[in-house]
Structure 1
Amino acid sequence: MGLSVGIDLGTSNSTAAVYRRGKVESIPIEGKKVLPSVVSYKDNGQILVGHSAKARLYIDPQNTVSSSKRFIGDSNKQYHIHNKALTPVDIAQEILKKIKTEASKYLGEEVKDAVITIPAYFTDEQREATKKAGELAGFNVLRLLSEPTAAAIAYGLDKERNQTIMVYDLGGGTFDVSILKVEGNSFEVEAVDGDSLLGGDDFDEKIMNYLLSNVSNGASANQMSPGSLSMQRLKEAAEEAKKELSESDFTDISIPDIFGTHIDEEVDVETFNKMIQPLLERTINKINEVLEEADLTKRDISRVILVGGSTRMRAVQEAVTQNIKKPYIADNVDEIVAQGAAIMAANLSAPSIDTAPVPIEVKDVTAHSLGIGFLSENDEYRVVHLIKRNTVLPCTGAEMGFTRYPNQKNVRMAVYRTNDTIPLDEHLLGELVLSVTPKEEPVSVVALFELDNSGVLTFSSAELSPDSALFREYSQTEVINLRALKEMIENKELKIKQATIDTNKQEA
């Protein structure tokens, strides 16, 4: 078995690492440790990935895609390039193929196995889409690992002390906060929260809007469209200004010949901090929520680790210091997630005792509650949760229901991802329709959710005979014997309907 790698597939940048010869090291891609997550499609059919693609953002923005990770798992998102409809999975596939090729070249052998990191708050659709992209790129995806957990592994491995770590992960497009208990080389996630639509791109947008507010109304609609060259130039200037304000008290933004005029603005750090205050408050609210979920106070946190390029902003560091404590900032803030994934990959593949690190144990949790829509006796439609948020992975949950009408032929079960009991359309993941025996009396139906270590959901349902021991036990206790149910499924004692809830949210 060859070497396995860890990959941080990021919104703005991606990185890769490997564990070998007793240490973890970043894998250079085209001589650099960070690969821009940008793909560009040339007229001659050539596909560029990384730095060369990012350069084309300002030459050919219509055929170049960046920040696609923000939309991965969204079946409605498409990029129309050269008369082809491409999805975020297609874009991620190209980035991962580039990493696979470069890693194989650097390591001197073909790399097949990988652990790919994801935001802890990713949904089932986003997880499935990420795994699919990895497989299409030619990887055997050993596991999807949450980014905060990967960072904690890279930081906490072999520290030989017990600690409670909070990981504040603010990347280019997503934000996560996780609390982990570390005992030796055991990493147990206590609680996670986050926002999959909050990241460095949003901080850039605040500067862009500020600059646009000072531009005359002479700009055309084409110039103002998101993919236009003018907007790409504006975004590049905003990103550079954000980086400068992470180190300096002011920055000069000068963009000649744009929107029929020119931009020449000085922005000080105080003005910038006011712009981004609402975004910072959103992250602090998530910190407080995750502490409450874990039943901890900020005094219980041993150390806060900052992860993600956007945590270089001084305002972020100051907000964390004021609300929790002074954070630990890794020197390799862009690489630490991939390095943690590489350690996990080596453990999972473990080709030999010489190349595997000290054995580690990771207990992750589900970031969302999952349930089924049920009609109550008074005809109220509510979500009954089979698996609750922050349950340790892998996990299972089951519920029993009954047909509503005499001689009912089918039972339609809608699957929801929500922490609430009142379902909304946007919470609907999919449906499973089970055929049942038409009877005058109610027919019992059992539903089983199984979440694997990567957080991918498998949903099984079956009609249950009232003569079965499982049904009789439930009638007495109103608790489903999960072990007995799974044994009946494995022994094919039940005729089940099964589905993996996938990315397109269609009927299962």
Structure 2
Amino acid sequence: MGTAIGIDLGTSNSTAAIYRNGKVQSIPIEGKSILPSVVSCKDDGQILVGNSAKSRLYMDPQNSMASSKRFIGNPSKVYHIQNKQVTPIDIAQYILEKIKNEASKYLGEEVTDAVITIPAYFTEEQREATKQAGERAGLKVLRLVAEPTAAAIAYGLDRERNQTIMVYDLGGGTFDVSILKVENNSFKVIAVDGDTKLGGDDFDEMIVQHLLHSIQTETGSNQYTEGSSSLQRIKEAAEEAKKELSDSDLVDIVVPDIFGTHIEMELDIATFNQTVQPLIQRTIEKMEEVLQSAGLSKREISRVILVGGSTRMRAVQEAVTKEIKKPYIADNVDEVVAHGAAIMAAHLSAPSRDSLPIPIVVEEVTAHSFGVDMIDVQDQQLKVFHLIKRNTKLPCVGATIGSTLRPYQPSIRAGVFRTESQVPAEEAKLGELKMPVSIRPYYVNVVSLFELDENGILTFSTAEIGRRSLLLSRYRETKEVDLDMLKLMIAQGEITPKKIVIDTNKVEV
């Protein structure tokens, strides 16, 4: 039997851990607990991952890639390096291969299985892309676990008292906030919210723009080439300044020979906090929304846990203290997510071993609502009818029954949407399923079924049902589909559904 580990595949940095002999242990990669999530390709085609790649990021930015996790699941994002096309899935694969190989070397045994963490607010395309990257790297992906949930497991395992925990997770590229009920070793997610386009990179960018404005004032020029080594030097200086301001009230930023001038300026904590306040405010709004979704007040939160390297910023800690309460800050905010994933990996791979903790139960929820577009018989308008609503416990199913629009209609088309709105906007559309139906002189009834698994992967099925179907009769009485009956009819071949699975790059019939 191979070894199972937990992996936090991060936007800026990635970490790995293992649970054995009753303890969680971080796995060093090349001697360090944190691996930069950077990939670089040399002229000879050699792929570098981690610290060596980050060093090349500033020397050869055109052939180096950082923060690619922000684009995973986006089929249109392609990097062009050394005459090759590389996707965010490829980059994630390289990083996971590096972790797998280094972990196997360090542990002295082959790593075969892993629990990989993802932002709670990831879409099913992003989840499926992450899973694909793990499988391409030669790992059996035991489960995808939301980063806040993993952090809560690491924090709350084997604690006696029941708690309601809010996890505030601000990483390099994403922000998540989750509320969980922890009872013994049961971790039940109540509500999640977040922003997959908000993270430490955005705070760095605020400083970058501050520095570029200084250069523009000095030189009168604002012509900067995205991806140039000079701009990468400014980004590096901005990141270092942000880190220093976590402990200091003032930082000197010096960048010589840049765009025909040089930067030598001071940045104080008050100016920095004021500059990044709009970003902090966005996280505060998400905290308020998740409390509302959970139906809880601020005083009902037992503890707030800060996770992610970006929570080292004092402005973040002060905002959480003001809005909810003084947060708990782990010594290893960069590693705690991987620690929770390692506990989960041990539980899933060998739950009977004596060295494992008592069995843990993890219940997660969907961060989004899903529905199909149908004509509303009340006002004859095309609307999205939600089959699965946001913050529903995973895995979950939902179904509804509709019909053709007119007699003798030869087929139906059903659009699949991820949205909280009833308006079927094109940007919220995940795909559509087309299915022939019996051509009848009357309306033909069709049942639609959504199945969302524990990894957040969505399967949509639709099938024709007869006019005298008991399933239809019960629906007319209750306006709810009898899911047990529907599954029985499918199992017995009474109805044969047509399915689509929402995949990373496209919707395949």
> Is the TM-score greater than 0.5?
yes
User: Given that residues 218 and 259 in structure 1 are in contact (C-alpha distance below 8 angstroms), is that contact kept between their aligned partners in structure 2?
Assistant: no
In 2, the alpha carbon distance for the partners of 1:129 and 1:312 equals 29
Q: Deviations 1:343-400 (Å, cap 9, x if unpaired)? A: 0111111164224322100110000000011112333111100000000001000010
Q: Deviations 1:312-371 (Å, cap 9, x if unpaired)? A: 000000000000000000001000000000101111111642243221001100000000
Q: Please name the residue that 1:388 is paired with.
A: 389
Q: Please name the residue that 1:479 is paired with.
A: 480
SS state at 1:215 partner? helix
Q: Please name the residue that 2:501 is paired with.
A: 500
> Which moved further from structure 2: 467-476 or 6-15?
467-476
1:363 is the counterpart of 2:363? yes
In 2, the alpha carbon distance for the partners of 1:49 and 1:344 equals 26
Question: Cα distance, 1:83 vs. partner?
Answer: 1.6
SS state at 2:460 partner? strand
In 1, the alpha carbon distance for the partners of 2:243 and 2:271 equals 15
Question: Cα distance, 1:22 vs. partner?
Answer: 1.1
Question: Cα distance, 1:486 vs. partner?
Answer: 1.4
In 1, the alpha carbon distance for the partners of 2:482 and 2:76 equals 39
Q: Please name the residue that 2:431 is paired with.
A: 430
Q: Please name the residue that 2:346 is paired with.
A: 346
In 2, the alpha carbon distance for the partners of 1:239 and 1:393 equals 37
User: Given that residues 208 and 235 in structure 1 are in contact (C-alpha distance below 8 angstroms), is that contact kept between their aligned partners in structure 2?
Assistant: yes
Q: Give the alignment of 1:28-427 within 5 angstroms.
A: 28-216=28-216, 217=219, 221=223, 224-350=224-350, 352-377=352-377, 378-427=379-428
SS state at 1:69 partner? helix
Taking only the aligned residue pairs, the percentage that are identical comes to 66
In 1, the alpha carbon distance for the partners of 2:461 and 2:343 equals 34
Q: Deviations 1:271-302 (Å, cap 9, x if unpaired)? A: 00010000000000000000011010110000
Question: Cα distance, 1:40 vs. partner?
Answer: 0.4
Question: Cα distance, 1:107 vs. partner?
Answer: 1.3
Report the AA paired with residue 174 of structure 2: T
Question: Cα distance, 1:260 vs. partner?
Answer: 1.0
User: Given that residues 59 and 229 in structure 1 are in contact (C-alpha distance below 8 angstroms), is that contact kept between their aligned partners in structure 2?
Assistant: yes
User: Given that residues 218 and 260 in structure 1 are in contact (C-alpha distance below 8 angstroms), is that contact kept between their aligned partners in structure 2?
Assistant: no
> Which moved further from structure 2: 50-59 or 488-497?
488-497
1:19 is the counterpart of 2:16? no
| Runs of 4+ more than 6 Å apart | none
User: Given that residues 501 and 507 in structure 2 are in contact (C-alpha distance below 8 angstroms), is that contact kept between their aligned partners in structure 1?
Assistant: no
SS state at 1:112 partner? strand
User: Given that residues 121 and 196 in structure 1 are in contact (C-alpha distance below 8 angstroms), is that contact kept between their aligned partners in structure 2?
Assistant: yes
User: Given that residues 501 and 508 in structure 2 are in contact (C-alpha distance below 8 angstroms), is that contact kept between their aligned partners in structure 1?
Assistant: no
TM-score, with length taken from structure 2: 0.98
> Which moved further from structure 2: 160-169 or 82-91?
82-91
In 2, the alpha carbon distance for the partners of 1:175 and 1:292 equals 18
In 2, the alpha carbon distance for the partners of 1:209 and 1:44 equals 35
Question: Cα distance, 1:118 vs. partner?
Answer: 0.3
Q: Deviations 1:436-492 (Å, cap 9, x if unpaired)? A: 111110111111101111111011111111232212222222211011111222333
Report the AA paired with residue 361 of structure 1: V
Residue correspondences, number: 506
Question: Cα distance, 1:49 vs. partner?
Answer: 0.2
Report the AA paired with residue 105 of structure 2: K
SS state at 2:343 partner? helix
SS state at 1:214 partner? helix
> Which moved further from structure 2: 115-124 or 352-361?
352-361
Question: Cα distance, 1:58 vs. partner?
Answer: 1.0
RMSD of aligned Cα (Å): 1.2
User: Given that residues 61 and 232 in structure 1 are in contact (C-alpha distance below 8 angstroms), is that contact kept between their aligned partners in structure 2?
Assistant: yes
Question: Cα distance, 1:210 vs. partner?
Answer: 0.5
In 1, the alpha carbon distance for the partners of 2:225 and 2:413 equals 43
In 1, the alpha carbon distance for the partners of 2:360 and 2:53 equals 38
User: Given that residues 4 and 112 in structure 1 are in contact (C-alpha distance below 8 angstroms), is that contact kept between their aligned partners in structure 2?
Assistant: yes
Q: Deviations 1:249-283 (Å, cap 9, x if unpaired)? A: 01000000011110111000000001000000000
Report the AA paired with residue 502 of structure 2: I
In 2, the alpha carbon distance for the partners of 1:92 and 1:440 equals 53
In 2, the alpha carbon distance for the partners of 1:148 and 1:404 equals 45
In 2, the alpha carbon distance for the partners of 1:226 and 1:347 equals 45
In 1, the alpha carbon distance for the partners of 2:450 and 2:441 equals 28
Question: Cα distance, 1:410 vs. partner?
Answer: 1.4
Q: Deviations 1:188-228 (Å, cap 9, x if unpaired)? A: 0010000000000000000000011111356574xx22211
Question: Cα distance, 1:507 vs. partner?
Answer: 6.0
